[in-house]
Amino acid sequence: MSALILIDHQDGSVAKSGAELAAFGKRIGNVTGVLLVAPGEGDGLVEAASSAEIDSLVIVESSDFKEHGITAMAKALTSLVKDRNPKALLIASSSRGKEIAARVAVATESGIITDAIDIDGDRKTTQSVFGGSFTVSSSVTTPVAIVTIRPSSIDAPSVTSTPSVEKISFSLADSERAVKISKVEPAVKGGRPELTEAKIVVSGGRGTNGDFKPVEALADLLGAAVGASRAATDAGWYPHTHQVGQTGKTVSPQLYVACGISGAIQHRAGMQTSKTIVAINKDAEAPIFDVADFGVVGDLFAVLPQASERLAKRPS
C-alpha cells in the first residue's frame, strides 16, 4: 500500500474531498480509503466511497468516534499508519483534518505538511502562502508523510471503483477517554453547498452595504456557496461561518466571484488559490483586480442583477 486517505463523511454522504485525495494518492501508488464510522454505519457508505479512485477500503468502526471525536479518530489512524506503513497519509485540510493530522504526525514521529494544494508521486508538495505571495515546494523526509490538502485543489476524475473492503473495530483505552463530547448541534444548513467544498463561491463584502440578496441570487443560479469578507461578517451582515480569509475559511474553488470586496491581503489569503477569480468592484484601483482573471468595474447592484438575468436565460 502506498497512500492512505481519510474519507470524510456526514449524515450518510461522503465528502467530495475523498475523491480529490484519492486522485492525489494515485500519483503515489495504491490508494486505501479509510472511513471512520459508528458501528453499523459503514456499509451504507461503501458505494459513495467507491466513487473515488481507491484500491481498497478500510472501515474502522467505533462508538468512540462520536463520543471522543478527534482523540479517537487520531488514535485509530495512528494504529493504521503504524500497521500499514503507507508512504503518505492524506487528509482534507479543515480545522478538524489538520488537528487529526498533527496528532497522527506526533504519535508516529512523521513529518507533516498542512494546506498543500498539490502533491506529486515523490510526495513533494506545493503550498501557497502569505496570501498567495509565495509558492512553496517542500517534502517530508520521514518514511510516512502526513499531508493535509485543501479541498478543490484538483478536479477528481469521475470513476467507479471496486475496492476490496475490510472492516475493523477500534476502541480507546479507558485512560484515553479523558474528554467526552456531551452534545453536538449541527448547524442549520441551507440548500447551498458547503463553503470549503463548493466548486463555485460568490462572496460579498462591505460594498454590499448589508444587502446580500444579489450575491445570493447569483450564487443560487450557479449552484454556488456564499462567502463574505470580514468587513461583512463583523458588521453582522452574514454569519462568521461564511467568512473567507486569514481568520476565516480557506477556499480554492474553480470559480470565485468577489463582489464589493477590496481584496485586502487577509481576504486574499483565503481565496487566492481559486482557479478563476472574477471581481466586481466600482473602484478600478481596488487591489482585488491584481489577483482577478476577469474584472468588472461597476456597481454590484447594477452588475449582479444583469449577470443573474443572463444566466437565468441559459438553456439548461
Footprint on this chain of ligand FAD (rule: CB under 6 A):
205-207, 229-232, 243-248, 260-262, 264, 266-267, 270, 280-283, 286, 299-301
In this complex, which beta carbon is closest to ligand FAD, that of residue 5 or of residue 264?
A: 264
Closest approach, Cβ 280 to ligand FAD, in A, equals 6
Q: Are 23 and 49 in contact (CB under 8 A)?
A: no
The neighbour count for residue 47, using CB atoms within 10 Å, is: 10
Closest approach, Cβ 9 to ligand FAD, in A, equals 28
Closest approach, Cβ 151 to ligand FAD, in A, equals 17
Q: Which of 57, 20, 60 is nearest to 39 (CA)?
A: 60
Closest approach, Cβ 116 to ligand FAD, in A, equals 20
In this complex, which beta carbon is closest to ligand FAD, that of residue 192 or of residue 301?
A: 301
Q: Which residues contact 234 (CB under 8 A, 6 or more apart)?
A: none
In this complex, which beta carbon is closest to ligand FAD, that of residue 29 or of residue 298?
A: 298
Cα–Cα separations (whole angstroms), residue 162 to 22, 49, 60, 155, 291:
14, 10, 18, 21, 42
In this complex, which beta carbon is closest to ligand FAD, that of residue 51 or of residue 246?
A: 246
Residue length of the chain? 316
In this complex, which beta carbon is closest to ligand FAD, that of residue 76 or of residue 232?
A: 232
Q: Which of 193, 311, 190, 196 is nearest to 253 (CA)?
A: 196
Closest approach, Cβ 142 to ligand FAD, in A, equals 32
In this complex, which beta carbon is closest to ligand FAD, that of residue 86 or of residue 270?
A: 270
The three cell numbers of residue 28 are 503515489
Closest approach, Cβ 112 to ligand FAD, in A, equals 23
Q: Which of 269, 311, 297, 307 is nearest to 207 (CA)?
A: 297
